[in-house]
Amino acid sequence: MAPFFLQQFLEYLQKEKRYSEHTCLAYQIDIQQFFDFLVISSKEDLLEISSLLIRGWMVDLIDNSYSNRSVNRKLSSLRSYFKWLKKEQIVQLNPMQKVQGPKTEKRLPSFARTSDLSVENLEEMFDDSFEGKRDKLVIEMFYQTGIRLNELIHLKNADIEHDRIKVVGKRNKERIIPISQKLFLLIEDYRNVLKLNNLDNELLFILKSGNKVYPKLVYRIINSYLGLVTNLDICSPHVLRHTFATHMLNNGAGLETLKDLLGHANLSATQVYTHNSFKQLTNIYSQAHPRGHKKK
C-alpha cells in the first residue's frame, strides 16, 4: 500500500523543488520502505508515528547491515517528507525533530589517475560505430566538464557552442562550462554519425532507436570502459565528476572557480576535493620550504 500523501509529496519535489527523476525515485523508495516496516493502513496510523517508532526502524536497518551512510540518507528522505506534511498541516508535530542519525565517517571521493584517462587508452577502447563514438563522448564529457548524470542525459544540441556548453543543473539552475576544441570536435564527429543514421534529435545523447539514453545505460558504459583502465572499486559517472574536480585542483584551479564549474550551491560542498589534492600540496611544500627541496 502506498504511503499516504506520497504522490503529492513527490509532485512537490518535482515541480517546486525541481528535483531530478532519479532523486525523486530515491525518496519514494526510502519512504515506502519506512511505511512497509510500520504497516501503515490509515491516516490515523500516520498521525500516530513517533520518534520512538522511527528509531526502531533505524535500528532495524542497522541490524540488516545497512551502512550508517545509507541509514542517514533514508532518514533525510523521511525528514523532508514529515517537514512537508507539517507545512501542509497534515500533521501537527514532526517526529523527526527528535531523531538523530548514526555518525558517519567522511568518505573521500574516489578518482581516476590522469594516466588512466590518457588519449592513448581511450583511443584503444572505442571503435568507429555509433555506440563507440557515443560512449567515448560520454566518458570525455564527464571527465572534461564534471557534469552530473542527469545533466548529461538532458544535454541539448542547442546548448552546445564551439567553446562552451549550457547545463541545466539542480533546482533548474543554468551554468556555462567552457569546453576544449578537442571536445567540440568529438561532439561534431558524433553528430555526423547521428546524421548518417538519420538520428537528428533535440538531445545530444540518444539510443540508436532515437530515444534518450537512460541512467542504467550510462552507468553500464562508465563501468565497462573505466574498469578496463583503472583499479577503482566503483566506476560510475560520479567518479568521473570527482576525477574532473581533483585534476582541476591539482593543476591550479581555485575553489571558487571549481564551485561554479560543478554547480555547487555553496563552497563547503567543493572543499571535500581539497583532501584529494595532496599532490599539489606536496609540490608547493617541496618548492617553498627550505627543507623541502630534494638534494641534487
From the candidates 133, 242, 259, 264, which is the catalytic residue? 264
Q: Give the position of cell 507539517.
A: 86
Q: How far apart are the C-alpha atoms of 286 and 237, rounded to whole Å?
A: 34
238 catalytic per annotation: yes
Contacts of 197 (CB under 8 A, 6+ apart): 130, 208
From the candidates 79, 136, 241, 259, which is the catalytic residue? 241
From the candidates 148, 242, 247, 259, which is the catalytic residue? 148
241 catalytic per annotation: yes
Cβ contact 239:226 at 8 Å: yes
From the candidates 156, 164, 170, 191, which is the catalytic residue? 170
Q: How far apart are the C-alpha atoms of 154 and 15, rounded to whole Å?
A: 17
Helix boundaries (H) for 96-147: 119-125, 130-145
170 catalytic per annotation: yes
143 catalytic per annotation: no
Q: How far apart are the C-alpha atoms of 230 and 119, rounded to whole Å?
A: 14
Grid cell at residue 55? 528509531
**Nearest CA-CA partner of 233 in 67, 112, 64, 70:** 112
HEC string of 117-128 equals: HCHHHHHHHCCC
Cβ contact 187:137 at 8 Å: yes
Cβ contact 240:139 at 8 Å: yes
From the candidates 156, 191, 238, 279, which is the catalytic residue? 238
The residues annotated with a catalytic role in the active site are 148, 170, 238, 241, 264, 273
